[in-house]
Every structure is written in structure tokens, then in C-alpha cells.
């Protein structure tokens, strides 16, 4: 459900008239202020990932080198000319004993097309100030100004199929020791070499470099985190329907501020023991418009304060954030905020 522009204009006019009447109305002025906790319901977020995404894996150390999906090659502390002890690999299948080579795969980019929807229950607080300008025995009418703050953190942990573009490098192992059969004997996988020149030395430069594509999987998480502020203004009716029990009803225009950050922390892999890491974030702040209707039940303690429980139905524009093929859309067109707390009358 969405409020039309004409409906919102009508509600805004009613709100303005209500507060104008407060300023010039009856001397019998009755006000109240309430504050309490809130929880948002019926709020979902759609995550979309579409396009080709570049990867830039950091080097294995501050000295440089290359980080692959299935290992690394970097200079050791001694900077031995053309060779290094600081290297590692993940799988025995990377070694070709006949050709005396060690093969590495490094994902340069991936293409994916994924979609998922996740729910969230944002928690926060809500408060409102209201005043009446006309009172009868059990009924009063007036206006209300409300404010709410909700903290959201929606996560998508579904995996996606992807097409990986990889750099394929081969390193020469002909200087490695051989066994009685003449086969080379590299350290058993998985292996991480020493940085101080100890252990078997690997050439720092590959003998061949090529590119290829392969099917893979994108796992990890994508999240939408941030704050949703809402401001409400509209006419109010207060009805004492039973001794010490009161029902407040209000409706009017609403304005939201959507302050969100999209984060992704993913692993891109073609095999179980090899993968590239991809991490980043981007942010946005947007203003949303809509309307609300709410009802609050209050119990009077008899000492100028009341306990209350209520709900606000709020219809706002969707909160949306996107960048470079990544997108998250928070649906707020039928949100319900449950609130409970304390109300002071004066």
C-alpha cells in the first residue's frame, strides 16, 4: 500500500490546521510525551549482483609478490637473485612431476547474476509529543509529532554460481631434488615456505603465463547496515474507553532518512581448496516520503505517567543503494513498527 501525493497533501493540511488550533484554541491544554523501544516488522531487503567484477588480491607480504587462489610466490628476506624460499601451494594436483612444473591459478575477475531476499527486524526507539485542543468527557482531539530511529542489519549468505577469468602461471621445478625414480620431490601440500631463505627455492618468475575461464562459486556474505530515521506529523484522537485505559489514534504524513552501507565479504573459488577473497563497501543517504497510521493503548498509573503498547503502520518509498552491479533494496511500503514504553502527561 502506498499513499498518493494528494493524500499526503491532505494529511499535511490537516496536521497544519491541528497545530494552528493548538496555538489559538482552548485554554484547557492537555499534552503528553512518550518514549519507548520499537521493533520493525514486514521489512525485507532484495540483494542483486549482476555483472563482471574485478579482483585485486593483495601481495603475500609488504615486499611484494603474487597471491594466487591456490598459493603464493613472494620474495624472501634475503632477496636471492631470481629465487625465493617464501612460496606456498595448496594442492598436490598443482605439481606435474613429468614436466617438472608447479601451476598456480589466480582469479582476475568473475561474472555472476544472483538474487536473494532476506528479512530483518530492525530494533530502535520511538518517541512522540502530542497536544489536544478540544476535550470532551472521554474524548480529546489534537495533533502529534513523532520520531523513530531503527538500526537495521540485513545479511544475504546465499552462494552464487559464477564464471571465473583466471591467470594461469607455471613455475619451473627442475632444480628440486629427485627420488630414486627420478621424480621431483617438492614439499607435501599444503605447504608454506620460510621467509628467511631456508627450505627449497622456487624461481620468482613464472616460465609461462596464460589465461582461462572456469566455472566457480561465490560464497560469503552481502549485508545492508545502517539507520532508518522517521518523522511523523498528523492529527490525533484520544479516547478513554475504560477507567485508566486510553486509546490514541493518529495518522498523517511521514518522512524517512535512509542512511545505509552495503558491505560484501566474499570468497570466489573453482575448487574446494582454492579461492580468492573479495571485500569492500559503499554508502548512501536518501530521503524517503510517505504516510502513517498508528494506534497506542495506554494504562494510567494515576501519577501522571502511563504504560503504553502500540503499533504504527508506515508506508515509505523503498530505500535503495547500488554501485557497480551490486544493489540492495529495502522495501518499506508496508512496514509495521511495534512500540512500548512510558507516557508522561502534563
Give the pLDDT band (50/70/90) at residue 248. Answer: very high
Q: Is the dihedral of CA 200, 205, 207, 212 positive or negative?
A: positive
Residue 150 vs residue 304, higher pLDDT: 150
Rounded distance, CA 7 to CA 10, Å?
Answer: 5
- What is the average pLDDT across 107-127? 95
pLDDT, tens digit (0-9, with 9 covering 90-100), for 187-238: 999 999 989 888 889 999 999 999 999 999 999 999 999 999 999 999 999 9
The pLDDT of residue 117: 94
Secondary structure element (H or E) that encloses residue 230, with its range: strand 208-242
Q: Are strands 66-68 and 30-41 parallel, antiparallel or unpaired?
A: unpaired
The pLDDT of residue 90: 95
Q: Flag whether pLDDT at 177 surpasses 70.
A: yes
Which candidate, 97, 101, 61, places its Cα nearest to that of 193? 61
Percent of the chain past pLDDT 70, that is, above it, reads 90
Residue 303 vs residue 142, higher pLDDT: 142
Which candidate, 93, 82, 74, 326, places its Cα nearest to that of 207? 82
The pLDDT of residue 29: 47
User: Which residue pairs, CB below 8 angstroms and at least 24 apart, start in 237-241?
Assistant: 237/139, 237/140, 237/141, 238/130, 238/132, 238/139, 238/140, 238/141, 238/142, 239/138, 239/139, 240/138, 240/139, 241/138
286 Cβ contact list (under 8 Å, min separation 6)? 257, 258, 319, 320
Bridge partners, 246 (sequence order)? 240, 298
Quickly count: other Cβ atoms within 10 Å of residue 51's Cβ: 12
Mean pLDDT score of the chain? 89
Dump strand ranges (E) for 86-207: 87-89, 95-96, 101-120, 123-135, 139-156, 160-172, 191-192, 202-203
Q: Is the dihedral of CA 121, 127, 132, 137 positive or negative?
A: positive
Which candidate, 298, 342, 248, places its Cα nearest to that of 36? 342
pLDDT, tens digit (0-9, with 9 covering 90-100), for 122-154: 999 999 999 988 888 899 999 999 999 999 999
Which candidate, 313, 155, 108, places its Cα nearest to that of 230? 313
Rounded distance, CA 315 to CA 108, Å?
Answer: 43
**Cell of residue 123, nine digits:** 530494533
Give the pLDDT band (50/70/90) at residue 8. Answer: very low
DSSP state of 194: -
Enter the pTM of the model: 0.84
Which candidate, 223, 313, 298, places its Cα nearest to that of 263? 223
Give the pLDDT band (50/70/90) at residue 21. Answer: very low
Quickly count: other Cβ atoms within 10 Å of residue 121's Cβ: 14
The pLDDT of residue 339: 98
The pLDDT of residue 181: 67
Q: What are the CA-CA distances from residue 101 to residues 94, 106, 173, 207, 216 (Å)? A: 8, 16, 5, 9, 24
Rounded distance, CA 60 to CA 65, Å?
Answer: 6
Q: Flag whether pLDDT at 164 surpasses 50.
A: yes
The pLDDT of residue 273: 84
Cβ atoms of 152 and 122 within 8 Å: the answer is yes
The pLDDT of residue 79: 66
Cβ atoms of 44 and 117 within 8 Å: the answer is yes
3-state SS, residue 187: coil
Amino acid at each position: 500500500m502506498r499513499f498518493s501525493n494528494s493524500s499526503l497533501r491532505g494529511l499535511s493540511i490537516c496536521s497544519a490546521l491541528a497545530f494552528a488550533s493548538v496555538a489559538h484554541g482552548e485554554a484547557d491544554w492537555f499534552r503528553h510525551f512518550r518514549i519507548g523501544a520499537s521493533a520493525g516488522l514486514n521489512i525485507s531487503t532484495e540483494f542483486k549482483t549482476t555483472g563482471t567484477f574485478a579482483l585485486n588480491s593483495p601481495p603475500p607480504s609488504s615486499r611484494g609478490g603474487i597471491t594466487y587462489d591456490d598459493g603464493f610466490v613472494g620474495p624472501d628476506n634475503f632477496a636471492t637473485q631470481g629465487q625465493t624460499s617464501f612460496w606456498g601451494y595448496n594442492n598436490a594436483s598443482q605439481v606435474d612431476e613429468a614436466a617438472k612444473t608447479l601451476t598456480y591459478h589466480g582469479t582476475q575477475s568473475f561474472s555472476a547474476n544472483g538474487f536473494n531476499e532476506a528479512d530483518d527486524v530492525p530494533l530502535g526507539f520511538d518517541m512522540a509529543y502530542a497536544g489536544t485542543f478540544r476535550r470532551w468527557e472521554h474524548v480529546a482531539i489534537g495533533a502529534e509529532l513523532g520520531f523513530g530511529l531503527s538500526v537495521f542489519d540485513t545479511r544475504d549468505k546465499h552462494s552464487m554460481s559464477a564464471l571465473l577469468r583466471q591467470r594461469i602461471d607455471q613455475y619451473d621445478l627442475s632444480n628440486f631434488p629427485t627420488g630414486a625414480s627420478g621424480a621431483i620431490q617438492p614439499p607435501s601440500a599444503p605447504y608454506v615456505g620460510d621467509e628467511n631463505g631456508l627450505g627449497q627455492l622456487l624461481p620468482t618468475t613464472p616460465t609461462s603465463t596464460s589465461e582461462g575461464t572456469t566455472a566457480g562459486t561465490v560464497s560469503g556474505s552481502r549485508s545492508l547496515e545502517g539507520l532508518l530515521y522517521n518523522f511523523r506529523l498528523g492529527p490525533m484522537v484520544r479516547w478513554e474507553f475504560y477507567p485508566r485505559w486510553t486509546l490514541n489514534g493518529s495518522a498523517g504524513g511521514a518522512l524517512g532518512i535512509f542512511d545505509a552501507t552495503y558491505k560484501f565479504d566474499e570468497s570466489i573459488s573453482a575448487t574446494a581448496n582454492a579461492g580468492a577473497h573479495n571485500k569492500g563497501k559503499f554508502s548512501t543517504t536518501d530521503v524517503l516520503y510517505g504516510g502513517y497510521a498508528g494506534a497506542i493503548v495506554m494504562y494510567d498509573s494515576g501519577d501522571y505517567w502511563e504504560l503504553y503498547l502500540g503499533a504504527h503502520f508506515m508506508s515509505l518509498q523503498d530505500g535503495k543503494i547500488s554501485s557497480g552491479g551490486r544493489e540492495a533494496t529495502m522495501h518499506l511500503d508496508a512496514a509495521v513498527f511495534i512500540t512500548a514504553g512510558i507516557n508522561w502527561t502534563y
